[in-house]
Amino acid sequence: MRLARFSAAVVAAALSFGIATGMPPAHAAGSADGSTVLVQTLDSLWAQDHTLDAQVSDATATLDRLDATVATQGRSTPDSVYVQIAAQEAVVHSLVGQHADVNNQITETKSIIAERGSQVAVAATAQQAAAEQADPRMAQVDAVIATLPYPVRTLGTRIVFGNHPAIGPAWGAYDRNTNTLYLGETAFASDTRFRYTVAHEYAHAYEQIMMSAANRQQAFSIVSSASAAAPADELFADTLATIWGAGADSFYWTPPAEVVAQVAPLVR
């Protein structure tokens, strides 16, 4: 469950998971990279990469058409066509260079995020040890985290035992404005439910903090096309929990195998 809009329908659904808000993503200071700016920079770079990729394709197609003109007309090709070819080659060369620069920046930014995420993980381990002394339930959370294929500790998400004050009783909830994961008492009803709840809420955190805008949109489109049973973000969280091997007691849906196969390449 992800904290969001507070319509009557959402309040009625609060016994389940995820309230979702139409607000733009707000990454907390405790996110994996330690900085909202870095995550926003990565999203911007991914957008530039997508735009430049399209521009390179268009410019290359134009150059191919000009080359085809020369191949067809041979010696009778007007000089103006050769001038256009030279100009278009310069455009392609420039765009390819810009594309390479953006890809390098993406690689560097992801490396910084990964490095800071590791630092967060180290700090989280120390915090976890202290928390376990105060609340043995943290050991149950850690046992689930250890089985997940993605290092969710690097997301820097804070864990609170109890219900989110805005929604009341629920298995769990994720507040993206504070990067906080809430685990209600009913989440502990069984091992499968608890494993699913932890994975589902961390899936919300992963979607908000680590996914590019393009991958998020594509994943939401895939799950929405397959079901209208719940908001796209909740269907996605159940799907990612399934990909992580923790969706046996999923609340919103059991994603079809073809949906899992389509979403899997969009996540790490």
Q: Is there a contact between 174 and 201 (Cβ–Cβ < 8 Å)?
A: yes
Band of the pLDDT at 126, cuts 50, 70, 90?
A: low
Does the pLDDT at position 35 exceed 80?
A: no
| CA–CA distance, 16 with 167 (Å, rounded to integer) | 10
Confidence at residue 167, expressed as pLDDT on a 0 to 100 scale: 79
3-state secondary structure at position 172: strand
% the chain with pLDDT above 70 = 78
Pick the more confident residue, 114 or 98: 98
Does the pLDDT at position 104 exceed 60?
A: yes
Does the pLDDT at position 184 exceed 90?
A: yes
Give the mean pLDDT of 197-214: 94
Band of the pLDDT at 166, cuts 50, 70, 90?
A: confident
Residue with tokens 């250890």: 146
Band of the pLDDT at 61, cuts 50, 70, 90?
A: very high
What rounded mean pLDDT belongs to the chain? 81
Structure tokens at 175: 């507040």
